[in-house]
Amino acid sequence: MPLMTTKPMFDLAYAGGFAVGAFNVNNMEITQGIIEACAAEKSPLILQISKGARKYAKMNYLTAIINAAVAEYPWLPIAIHLDHGDTVDLVDTCIKDGFTSVMIDGSHHPYDENVHVTAEAVKHAHAAGVTVEAELGMLGGIEEDVVGMDAHDYEANVEKFLTDPDQAKDFWQKTKCDSLAVAIGTSHGAFKFKHEAKLAFDRIEKIMKTCPGLPLVMHGSSSVPQEFIDLVNKYGGQMPNAKGVPEDQINMAVGKYGVCKVNIDTDLRLALTAKIREVFATKPAEFDPRNYLGPGREAIVSMVRRKLGPKVLNSANKSDAINAHWEKLGKPLPKFYGAK
Ligand code: G3H
Ligand code: 13P
Ligand code: ZN
């Protein structure tokens, strides 16, 4: 019973002051690192796949990798989620592929169009028993296939882009989405803040008041660990002034403000890149990929384990309770991802 929607996870997370980590997967080593960490900590997890990841790795390869993980840890609560889906067609494809959860991101559309496209995606997904995350407000940072703006321009004008609490209520009522990604000062990527890193807690609090019970999602939540930035810069990289969301602020959002899902991609990329750079620089004769991808994967395991603990997401040791809740909800999905 390992694959499930996000519903049992968010039900318990909302009430229990923890959040589920949603980690982007693009290849085998990244997936294995995340899974190993979550299994060691008995933590639920969301594996999320972007349009870019589908294109890069090809869905049938990702399916095989995820199925291998599910078979290795059959007791681990896992949701397979589309990250930043931009069309209802892509949502439909992912439902057919066996995803248990999808995001429809209409945040770059005018409000009415966002409502329209989200409501349509919700209709399709709910008919298939799949949960839906939507987005309202605008995040900073420019990623492949994700609409945003330069993170530092964003920071300077952030008030304009934050999610409007009354609009969030209207949006939730009209679309019936299951969770909402909100703009509260975060940006995608490794350069989130030029000045002091600060989340708009007053805004999250207001959204919680207008939308009680709605699980909130924080995108752009990498903390950009300094140890990885130091390694990258020491061994030939150029990432001066990289800055992420401090872990204590993530922990506060998770514990007090209804944030049930925390999205992390950049930190995985940084861990892998830092370790590969280190091996290349310190062992210039090394050319066996296992000897540089392996240390990268190890760095992902320890970084993710740290995030699952009480000082950040607080999701460790929650797997049994989530499995029990999912069973009570009584709608087991196919045992294997992609199963027809
Ligand atoms: O929010 C975006 C994620 O980091 C995915 O990025 O579209 O480059 O795969 P990607
Ligand atoms: P980061 O760039 O902070 O890791 O955010 C990832 C994300 O929001 C994926 O949707
Ligand atoms: Zn995102």
Substitution candidate for ligand 2 out of 143, 245, 270 with most atoms within 8 A of CB: 143
Q: Is 212 left (phi over 0), alpha (psi -120 to 50) or beta?
A: beta
- Give the model's pLDDT for residue 91: 98
Q: Do 250 and 220 meet the contact criterion of CB atoms below 8 Å apart?
A: no
Rounded to a whole number, what is the distance in angstroms from the first to the last CA of the chain? 16
Can you give the pLDDT at residue 163?
97
Cβ–ligand 1 contact at 144 (below 6 Å): yes
pLDDT > 70: percent of the chain: 96
pLDDT band, very low/low/confident/very high, at 339 (cuts 50, 70, 90): very low
pLDDT score of 333 more than 60:
no
Write down the pLDDT at residue 2.
61
Q: 144 CA to middle of ligand 1, Å?
A: 6
CA of 158 to the centre of ligand 2 (A): 18
pTM: 0.96
CA 15 to CA 8: how far, in whole Å? 11
105-114, 138-147, 252-261: segment of lowest average pLDDT: 138-147
CA of 113 to the centre of ligand 3 (A): 20
105 ligand 2 Cβ < 6 A: no
Greater confidence, 331 or 179? Answer: 179
Q: Could you tell me whether strands 78-85 and 101-104 are parallel, antiparallel, or unpaired per DSSP bridges? A: parallel
| Pairing state between β 78-85 and 216-218 | unpaired
277 pocket-lining for ligand 1 (C-beta < 6 Å) = no
Per-residue pLDDT band at 337 (split at 50, 70, 90):
very low
Q: Read off the pLDDT of each residue in 95-120 and give the average, rounded to a whole number.
A: 97
The predicted model gives 221-243 an average pLDDT of 98
Q: Band the pLDDT of 336: cuts 50, 70, 90.
A: very low
**Catalytic: 267?**
no
If residue 247 lies in a helix (H) or strand (E), which one and from where to where? helix 247-256
Distance CA 57, CA 48 (A): 13
Identify the residue whose C-alpha is closest to ligand 1 atom 3. 265
Report how far residue 310's alpha carbon sits from residue 251's, in angstroms, rounded to the nearest whole number: 8
Q: Taking residues 316-323, what's their average pLDDT? A: 96
Cα 90 to averaged position of ligand 3 atoms, centre (Å): 16
> What pLDDT score was predicted for residue 241?
95
Burial class (CB in 10 A: 0-12, 13-18, 19+), 284: exposed
Check pLDDT > 50 for residue 1.
no
Residue of 31, 265, 268 to mutate, ligand 1, most atoms within 8 A of C-beta:
265
**pLDDT above 70 (res 5):** yes
Of the listed ligands, the closest to the CA of 144 is: 1
